Amino acid sequence: MASQNEGLHAVLSEEEQAGQTYFDKIIAEDSRIEPRDWMPESYRKTLVRQIGQHAHSEIIGMQPEANWITRAPSLKRKAILMAKVQDEAGHGLYLYSAAETLGTPRDKMTEDLISGKARYSSIFNYPAVTWADMGAIGWMVDGAAICNQVPLCRASYGPYGRAMVRVCKEESFHQRQGFEILLELANGTPEQRAMAQDAVNRWYAPSLMMFGPPDEDSPNSKQSMAWNIKRFSNDELRSRFVGMLVEQVKVLGLELPDDQISFNEDTKQWEHSPLDWDEFKDVLKGRGPCNAQRMERRRSAHEEGAWVREAAAAYADKQAQKAEVA
Amino acid sequence: MTGGSTTGDDGSKTKGTGVHESRQPWPLWEVFVRSSRGLSHVHAGSLHAPDADMAVRNARDLYTRRNEGVSLWVVPSSAIISSDPDAKGQYFESAQGKDYRHATYYTKSEGVKHL
């Protein structure tokens, strides 16, 4: 038995024990862990993976929308869309910075994304085929992201929480502009209205799946909640989100493609039709409609930008040398 | 730890070949923003940039897209000297137990105006 225990709990040095005690105390007080604090290796790894994946999602998420910048229906819409895509880049950078405080260099994270080692949200592997998709993405995809992210503002890791506060402030513009696009289309010509409804139909289920697998299939959530990284389970957040959509879709005058949505008075949760988790797993494994395209675009953008990064570094070196001589 | 969510992790990984650049990583800079005149610069976050000029420009694009500031500072992260995080409480201990340094310690003057 003794040897088994040693296998499970590597013997901690005195310093590590003190670190663990302090870490446990901070978590129990619901206070924040900061970059230079001692933390368990598994906590650090979980955060690097989660924050990295989150950052990659923001960066890959620029693609479906950037695709519509040249075709936005007016100059105003074009300016708004550009601001939104720029925000997504910013969100990716805030998050990469937060992950870097855990000791993983930015270049390593980029490398992991491009090599396919790191993941990003499966939602961005669906195509944005009409202008109405800009509305549905803003309303539902960004809406789901906000639901997920608001509790993350209180994540136990300080830099992650602070990045999320900044992200959440900016996301509300994203959701409102999406809602407005759909509202205008819904009140437009019959064709425009049909286009809005079609976009809602296509993005509904994928946006619900953004919260991750059902609780019984998400064994690691428990640990993340014990560490105060996650505050609510996947299903709790999904239920909350469905409840919001049900009310908001009435204002749009459109319908959700699910006739089984209801509020369960006993559990106080919103319920919906079962989701196709096989499709979710397929998309995650790389068999979604746009996986290859998104990865290829990211890879070529990185490779085509290499000379810019090198030139900027060479220029900085040269200026530094000049300053030294002077 | 929510597979495939924007904020989660599914744990599984696929293999692939890495992309390597010979370039040294750009240095890291800490960004401080003065939100309006009369207030001090406050730490906003960090970024990578090849030199100071680019760091200031990137800081503007990254941290002041919504009128968050009227002035920016960037400092090489490596130039920041901090107190020892392992010293924990001891380093700031001398301030503890010295309530008399706070105005609230002096209660007898309660109710006296302008004091």
- d(C-alpha B24, C-alpha B1), whole Å: 32
Q: Under an 8 A CB cutoff, do A302 and B17 touch?
A: no
Question: Is B18 within 8 Å of chain A by CB?
Answer: yes
What is the DSSP secondary-structure string of A81-149? HHHHHHHHHHHHHHHHHHHHTTT--HHHHHHHHHTT-S---GGGGS---STHHHHHIIIIIHHHHHHHH
**DSSP classification of residue B93:** G
Return the exposure string of A210-228: e unless at least 16 CB atoms fall within 10 Å of the residue's CB, then b: bbbbeeeebebbeebeebb
Q: Who among B12, B50, B66 is closest to A312 (CB)?
A: B50
Q: Which of A90, A97, A223 sits opposite B65 (nearest CB)?
A: A90
| pLDDT tens, residue by residue, A301-321 | 999 999 999 999 999 999 999
pLDDT at A266: 93
- Chain B nearest-CA distance from A218, in A, is 6
ipTM of the complex: 0.87
How high is the pLDDT of residue B22?
A: 63
Distance from CA of B68 to the nearest CA of A (A): 11
Each residue of A76-106: b (16+ CB within 10 Å) or e? Answer: ebeebbeebbebbebbbbbbbbbbbbbebeb
Averaged pLDDT for residues A218-226: 90
Average pLDDT over residues A176-204: 98
User: Residue B84's pLDDT is what?
Assistant: 80
Distance in Å, alpha carbon of A27 to nearest chain B alpha carbon: 16
pLDDT at B2: 30
Checking if the pLDDT of A108 tops 90, the result is yes
- Please give the single-letter amino acid code of residue A213: P
Angle between helices A234-252 and A158-186 (to 10 degrees): 30
Residues A228-245 pLDDT 10s: 999 999 999 999 999 999
> Hey, are the CB atoms on B7 and A223 less than 8 Å from each other?
no
Poorest-pLDDT segment among A26-35, A56-65, A191-200, A215-224: A215-224
Give the rounded percent of residues in chain A with a pLDDT score beyond 70.
Answer: 97
Which pLDDT score is estimated for A235? Answer: 95
- Return the residue in A93, A228, A276 with the most chain B beta carbons within 10 A, the one to mutate for interface testing: A93
Cβ <8 Å between A163 and B45: yes
Is residue A33 predicted with pLDDT exceeding 60? yes
pLDDT greater than 60 at residue A105: yes
Q: What is the mean pLDDT of chain A?
A: 94
Contact state of A212 with B18 under an 8 Å Cβ cutoff: no
Minimum distance, in Å, between the CA of residue B103 and any CA atom of chain A? 27
Residues of chain A in contact with residue B46, where contact means CB-CB under 8 angstroms, are 97, 100
Could you report the average pLDDT of every consecutive run of 10 residues in chain B (115 residues)? 34 40 83 97 95 96 94 96 78 82 90 88
Position B91 scores a pLDDT of 82
Of B10, B46, B86, the CB nearest to A284: B10
- Partners of residue A34 in chain B, C-beta under 8 Å: 85
Taking CB atoms and an 8 Å cutoff, what residues of chain A touch B33? none
